[in-house]
Amino acid sequence: MVVRRGLVSDAAELAVFAARTFAEAFYRQAGFDEIGLTHYVVGSDRQVDRVFMAALPPVHPGATASSR
């Protein structure tokens, strides 16, 4: 579970440049699943990122970031 400014999540999400196949393989091996694509523009060049998500382990009540 991630807590930031009062927001809670039980998953981590990241995006990686679609041309970085070694990074995609690393994240898949780390337990991330591809959930979609996102696009953005750099100058006149349209870029594509693959979006990955992984479940996070549960956090015990009262745990702090330093006790993980």
Q: What DSSP string runs through 2-55?
A: EEETTEEESEEEEEEETT-HHHHHHHHHTT-EEEEEEEEEETTEEEEEEEEEEE
Q: What is the extent of the structural domain holding 30?
A: 10-57
Q: What percent of the chain has pLDDT over 70?
A: 74
Residue 44 lies in a domain: yes
**pLDDT value of position 60:** 67
Confidence of residue 12 (pLDDT cuts 50, 70, 90): confident
Q: Tens of pLDDT along 18-48?
A: 889 999 999 999 999 999 999 999 999 999 9
When divided into structural domains, the chain yields a total of: 1
Residue 18 lies in a domain: yes
**pLDDT value of position 6:** 53
What is the C-alpha to C-alpha distance for residues 51 and 63, in angstroms, rounded to an integer?
A: 29
- Token pair of 59, please? 């956090």
Q: Determine the average pLDDT of the residues in 44-62.
A: 85
Q: Is the pTM of this model over 0.75?
A: no
Residue 1 lies in a domain: no
